[in-house]
Amino acid sequence: MSSIDSPTISKTNASLNSNPIGSNPYKTITYSGDGNEYVIIDNHKYLRHELMQAFGGTLNPGLSPPPVHQFGNASALGLASFSVTTFVLALYLIGAKGIAIPNVVVSLCFFYGGAVEMLAGIWELVIGNTFAGTVFTSFGTFWIAYGSIFVEAFGIQAAYADEPEQFGNAVGFFILGWAIFTFLLLTCTIKATVGLAGLFLTLDIAFFLLSAANMTGNATATKAGGAFALISSIFGFYNMYAGIANETNVYIMPLPLQLPVYEKNKH
């Protein structure tokens, strides 16, 4: 793909956004041409069809040029590690098969949801996908931090032995911080796909419910949070599948259902 330096003033001079999270490092994105077939990103002109569209399979929330360095799709790996770990934990939280102790998920928290997801995030940062890199490295460390709570050698739960109610509040604050972080990520997906936005929406609801459950001891809130986490894992599996499926290995390609994009009129 080639880009053309162009001082062209766009026919439709509609700047999409300047993303505070950093998923879109470009200052201005404008359109030109009779049918807005050209997209000008920081004074570089591209044909619209040459750009990467919003796509859950690559955790790409908006228009951007393909990366200069061509690697395998690390987002598919990051989505897989997130989805499997979330799926297993969610089943424990909703009380499936009567399991009330979630410690078995610690192995996934450290090795798959933790280490592998962090590595996927680092690879995404290398190719310039700041949104995916921020998501995967952050949630990779979340899984490691969450798993460490259940490891006796860390002494986290033992530190609250004399004040057990403080432990619930402390875990609630821990999850609340991630709920706020996830909400900010969610705002960066409102122009993306249904699958990508759905993942962050359901995950955010799960975090808020689980935060409240830990601070109140409400079992119903715990199960509700687990249910939303389960739905989020399903969205994750769908996006992962979209990231690895192609015409050489499947007969029916998953469709990226785009959310509507409303452009502001500038005078």
Q: What is the pLDDT of residue 63?
A: 58
Span 111-132, pLDDT tens digits: 999 999 999 999 999 988 999 9
Q: Which residues contact 132 (CB under 8 A, 6 or more apart)?
A: 23, 58, 59, 60, 74, 75, 78, 120, 121, 124
**What's the rounded mean pLDDT across residues 6-17?**
36
Q: Any idea where the domains of the chain sit in the sequence?
A: 4-51, 74-244
Average pLDDT over residues 205-216: 98
The stretch 13-32 carries a mean pLDDT of: 47
Q: Which residue's entry shows tokens 């880009």?
A: 3
Where does residue 98 fall: left (phi above 0), alpha (psi -120 to 50 degrees), or beta otherwise? left
Q: How confident is the model at residue 185 (pLDDT cuts 50, 70, 90)?
A: very high
- β-partners of residue 60 are 55
Question: pLDDT tens for residues 143-165?
Answer: 999 999 999 999 999 999 999 88
Tell me: the pLDDT tens digits for 62-81? Answer: 656 566 667 788 999 999 99
Mean pLDDT of 191-217: 96
Query: Average per-residue pLDDT in the chain?
Result: 83
DSSP calls for 120-157: HHHHHHHTT-HHHHHHHHHHHHHHHHHHHTT-GGGTTT
β-pair partners for 45: 4, 40
Segment (H or E) for 187: helix 164-187
Strand (E) or helix (H) holding 47: strand 44-47
Contact in structure between 134 and 22 (CB atoms under 8 Å) = yes
For 193, phi and psi rounded to 5 degrees? -110, 165
Sorting pLDDT into bands at 50, 70 and 90, what band is 28? low
